[in-house]
């Protein structure tokens, strides 16, 4: 089995983001960037499948500028075998991302594609679902458990009501929840080794897909701030405030 | 302009997220159609006819639709979607699972998690866990939107007289087999639309201690929520997680107990009307969004609150 993992480079989840003064977007210059957190779960799952002898080859793919190589190196340090950067000057909408990935998948012929369930920057939660549709492969989103037996997949997905269990077949597209596994930290020797692993660069213009945005961002603003609250001294005061001031109990 | 809404339901009852989505659609049009895909949904559709502003229900009733496999639903929706300017679904795990597939079939970019509709082609949505608000415009022939239920009131369930039209079931073969659903049963209000939510975090220490939280929730007729840390630690089920990758809630009163307030958690609850934070750590970021903060050991505070509420009830009765 060959496993392909899609990875996105995003502002690190611990960073308090800043909206640009001209309202054109969010500041990403001189800000710590990292692997999108649920994509780390996808990487971890692929590496585990290799360690269990279920995957022969693991491959990570990202789309972005030269700097996006750093998230691929992180994936290689975690144990992925090789990487592809699809070089794109612009950030893409999920539809274009899925089309790009489907072109890579056509060439690479993986049996399993793993993605994070959503990117923590645009919070769109679309790419895996679109990709599954374009490939006409089964989809399982928000998975928190995966078992593979031959060609068969046994899956748990996190849904609003609880957990849903599905069975399906390879090839398939799965999007990973944060509870699927605990991503490992790359050790220093592995970070060094990762520098020598193969990382190919493909220019997006060679793939022949329409990447023009269909949505125009008019402006990006800060959310309305909540006005400062007060500290109460004890439970009695709290309950009184809720009853007579806020009138919510 | 004509709007199609994809109904979220369990084959028996329409979920309230659908009612919020209908409210959102009213900003676009007075001609709202509802597509209901499911199995044995005769009664469900009949009970839905009275919903305000819905003129037509498109019913697709087939046993293969019983478990909402998105591979089977999406082609049926995309086939019908061509007759509409807007197709809306709730931004629940149901809508998130389905609508992007429709977007792929129609080659349209979907706009996720809409919190405000400014015009027929201008929409507002949160990005970066709600730490930035993006206003977007699109000129596509069909607008696909998922709607954040908490951003819109529920529509009236009476006053309408929708007709029911059967639509053709188009079969899609898929190897996916539905095995089951583990749904935790509770008599408490639904987390997504409860008036009061009581949430516990890592500070609750274990699942047994959550009993204390349940007791408080029941006093307030509240839903129970949790931080990701509490769910990851196994204190409570994933269906209770509030936050960027969990549920979005916006109750009248949100009580955060033993929750530090990571930005990912705040993303899920900071639109609540009144926020109470109870935490030992006075530096916890949750206090920055709280209307009322109490620095206290939660194992002392919760029983005291329960006592105070009992006292209050006694005085009133």
A126 with B110: Cβ contact below 8 A: yes
Partners of A156 in the beta sheet?
A145, A165
A235 with B131: Cβ contact below 8 A: no
For residue A159, the distance in angstroms to the closest alpha carbon of chain B comes to: 6
**Mean pLDDT, to the nearest integer, of B142-165?**
95
Give the span between the Cα atoms of B251 and B261, in whole angstroms.
17
For residue range B140-152, list pLDDT tens digits in order.
999 999 999 999 9
- For A17, the closest chain B residue by CA position comes to B131
B314 band by pLDDT with thresholds 50, 70 and 90: confident
Give the span between the Cα atoms of A199 and A72, in whole angstroms.
8
Residue reference for tokens 């190196």: A73
CB distance B29 to B56 below 8 Å: no
Interfacial A residues in 18-37 facing B (CB < 8 Å): 19, 26
Residue reference for tokens 């496999």: B69
CB distance A76 to A194 below 8 Å: yes
Interfacial A residues in 220-249 facing B (CB < 8 Å): 220-223, 226, 229-232, 234-236, 238-239, 241-243, 246, 248-249
For residue range A91-113, list pLDDT tens digits in order.
999 999 999 999 999 999 999 99
Instruction: Kindly report the average pLDDT of chain A as a whole number.
Output: 97
Tell me the two tokens of residue A100.
Answer: 């790009």
HSE of B49 in the Cβ direction (CA atoms, 13 Å)?
A: 11
Give the span between the Cα atoms of B114 and B126, in whole angstroms.
8
Interfacial B residues in 142-161 facing A (CB < 8 Å): none
Residue reference for tokens 């992180």: A74
Which residues are CB-neighbours of B313 under 8 A, at least 6 positions away?
A: none
For residue range A178-220, list pLDDT tens digits in order.
999 999 999 999 999 999 999 999 999 999 999 999 999 999 9
CB distance B227 to B243 below 8 Å: yes
Confidence (pLDDT) at A213: 95
Short-list A105, A108, A109, A147, CA closest to A127: A105
Task: Work out the end-to-end distance of chain A between its first and last CA atoms, rounded to an integer number of angstroms.
Answer: 57
Q: What residues of A are in contact with residue B228 (Cβ under 8 Å)?
A: 178
pLDDT at B315 over 90: no
pLDDT at A227 over 90: no
Give the span between the Cα atoms of A66 and A45, in whole angstroms.
26
Interfacial B residues in 217-256 facing A (CB < 8 Å): 220, 228, 231-232, 237-239, 244-245, 247, 252-253
Cα→Cα distances B257→B51, B236, B278, Å: 38, 14, 5
Q: What residues of A are in contact with residue B309 (Cβ under 8 Å)?
A: 239, 249
Give the span between the Cα atoms of B152 and B19, in whole angstroms.
9
- For A177, the closest chain B residue by CA position comes to B245
Nearest CB to B101; choose among A129, A234, A238: A129
Interface check B13 vs A, CB under 8 A: no
Task: Give the other-Cβ count within 10 Å of B47's Cβ.
Answer: 14
Nearest CB to A235; choose among B109, B274, B304: B304
Interfacial B residues in 252-291 facing A (CB < 8 Å): 252-253, 263-264, 270, 273-276, 287, 289-291
Burial B114-129 (b: 16+ CB within 10 A, else e): bbbbeeebebbbbbbb
pLDDT at B40 over 80: yes
Short-list B317, B315, B312, CA closest to B220: B312
Edge-to-edge strands of the sheet including B86-90?
B111-114, B143-147, B86-90, B3-6, B32-38, B54-61, B163-166
Angle formed by the axes of helices A127-135 and A94-108, nearest 10°: 50
Interface check A122 vs B, CB under 8 A: yes
**Mean pLDDT, to the nearest integer, of B97-104?**
98
For residue B187, the distance in angstroms to the closest alpha carbon of chain A comes to: 14
Confidence (pLDDT) at B185: 84
Chain A / chain B CB contacts < 8 angstroms = 241
Which residues are CB-neighbours of A63 under 8 A, at least 6 positions away?
A: A8, A85, A86, A88, A92, A97, A100, A101, A204
Short-list B217, B207, B1, B28, CA closest to B117: B28
Give the span between the Cα atoms of A141 and A158, in whole angstroms.
8
Confidence (pLDDT) at A14: 93
Task: Give the other-Cβ count within 10 Å of B2's Cβ.
Answer: 16
Interface check A13 vs B, CB under 8 A: yes
Interface check A206 vs B, CB under 8 A: no
Burial B215-254 (b: 16+ CB within 10 A, else e): ebbebbebbbbbbbbbbebebbbbbbbbbbbbbbbbbebb
Cα→Cα distances B123→B53, B145, B239, Å: 21, 9, 28
Short-list A176, A217, A214, CA closest to A99: A214
Interface check B190 vs A, CB under 8 A: no
**Mean pLDDT, to the nearest integer, of B114-135?**
97
Confidence (pLDDT) at B172: 97
Give the span between the Cα atoms of B242 and B129, in whole angstroms.
12
Nearest CB to A125; choose among B112, B252, B270: B112
Give the span between the Cα atoms of B178 and A20, in whole angstroms.
46
The reply to whether omega before A171 is within 30° of 0 (cis) is yes
pLDDT at B317 over 80: no
- For B70, the closest chain A residue by CA position comes to A139
A216 with B137: Cβ contact below 8 A: yes
B313 band by pLDDT with thresholds 50, 70 and 90: confident
The pTM score is 0.96
Angle formed by the axes of helices A94-108 and B93-106, nearest 10°: 70
The residue that leads in pLDDT, A135 or B317, is: A135
DSSP codes of every residue in B220-237: TT-EEEE-HHHHHTTSS-
Interface check A152 vs B, CB under 8 A: no
| CB-neighbour burial class of residue B5 (10 A; exposed 0-12, middle 13-18, buried 19+) | buried
Short-list A65, A55, A9, CA closest to A34: A9
CB distance B265 to B272 below 8 Å: no
Q: Say which DSSP state B14 is in.
A: B
**Mean pLDDT, to the nearest integer, of A38-54?**
98
Tell me the two tokens of residue B196.
Answer: 């009061």
């Amino acid at each position: 089995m060959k496993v392909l993992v899609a990875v996105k480079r995003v502002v690190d989840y611990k960073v308090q983001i800043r909206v640009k003064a001209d309202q054109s977007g969010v500041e990403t210059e001189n800000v710590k960037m990292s692997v999108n957190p649920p994509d780390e779960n996808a990487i971890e799952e692929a590496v585990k499948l290799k360690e269990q002898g279920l995957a022969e080859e693991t491959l990570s793919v990202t789309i972005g500028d030269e700097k996006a190589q750093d998230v691929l190196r992180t994936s290689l340090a975690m144990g992925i075998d090789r990487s592809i950067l699809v070089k794109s000057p612009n950030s893409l909408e999920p539809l274009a991302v899925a089309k790009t990935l489907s072109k890579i998948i056509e060439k690479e012929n993986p049996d399993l594609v793993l993605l994070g369930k959503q990117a923590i920057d645009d919070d769109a939660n679309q790419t895996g679902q679109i990709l599954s549709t374009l490939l006409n492969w089964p989809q399982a989103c928000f998975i928190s458990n995966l078992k593979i037996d031959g060609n068969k997949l046994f899956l748990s997905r996190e849904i609003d009501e609880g957990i849903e269990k599905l069975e399906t077949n390879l090839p398939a597209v799965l999007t990973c929840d944060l509870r699927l596994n605990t991503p490992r930290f790359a050790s220093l020797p592995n970070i060094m080794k990762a520098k020598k692993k193969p990382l190919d660069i493909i220019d997006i213009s060679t793939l022949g897909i329409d990447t023009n945005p269909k949505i125009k961002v008019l402006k990006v603003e800060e959310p309305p701030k909540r006005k400062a609250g007060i500290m109460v001294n004890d439970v009695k005061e709290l309950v009184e405030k809720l009853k007579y001031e806020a009138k919510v109990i | 302009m004509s709007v199609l809404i994809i109904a979220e339901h369990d084959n028996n009852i329409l979920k309230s997220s659908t009612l919020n989505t209908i409210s959102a659609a009213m900003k676009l049009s007075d001609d709202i159609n509802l597509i209901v895909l499911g199995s044995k949904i005769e009664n469900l559709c009949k009970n839905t006819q009275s919903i305000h502003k819905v003129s037509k229900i498109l019913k697709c009733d087939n046993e293969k639709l019983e478990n909402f496999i998105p591979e089977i639903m999406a082609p049926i929706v995309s086939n019908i979607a061509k007759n509409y300017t807007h197709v809306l679904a709730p931004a629940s795990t149901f809508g998130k699972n389905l609508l992007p597939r429709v977007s792929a079939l129609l080659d349209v970019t979907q706009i996720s998690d809409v919190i405000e509709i400014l015009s027929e082609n201008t929409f507002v949505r949160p990005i970066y866990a709600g730490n930035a608000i993006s206003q977007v415009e699109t000129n596509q022939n069909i607008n696909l939107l998922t709607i954040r239920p908490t951003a819109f009131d529920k529509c009236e369930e009476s006053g309408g007289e929708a007709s029911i039209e059967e639509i053709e079931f188009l079969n899609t073969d898929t190897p996916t087999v539905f095995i089951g659903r583990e749904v935790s049963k509770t008599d408490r209000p639904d987390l997504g639309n409860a008036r009061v939510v009581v949430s516990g975090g890592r500070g609750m220490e274990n699942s047994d201690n959550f009993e204390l939280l349940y007791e408080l929730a029941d006093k307030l007729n509240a839903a129970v929520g949790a931080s990701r840390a509490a769910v990851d630690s196994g204190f409570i089920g994933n269906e209770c997680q509030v936050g960027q990758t969990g549920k979005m809630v916006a109750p009248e009163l949100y009580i955060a107990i033993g929750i530090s307030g990571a930005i990912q958690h705040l993303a899920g609850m900071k639109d609540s009307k009144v926020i109470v934070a109870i935490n030992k750590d006075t530096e916890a970021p949750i206090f920055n969004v709280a209307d009322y903060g109490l620095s206290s050991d939660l194992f002392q505070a919760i029983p005291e609150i329960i006592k105070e509420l009992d006292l209050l009830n006694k005085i009133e009765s």
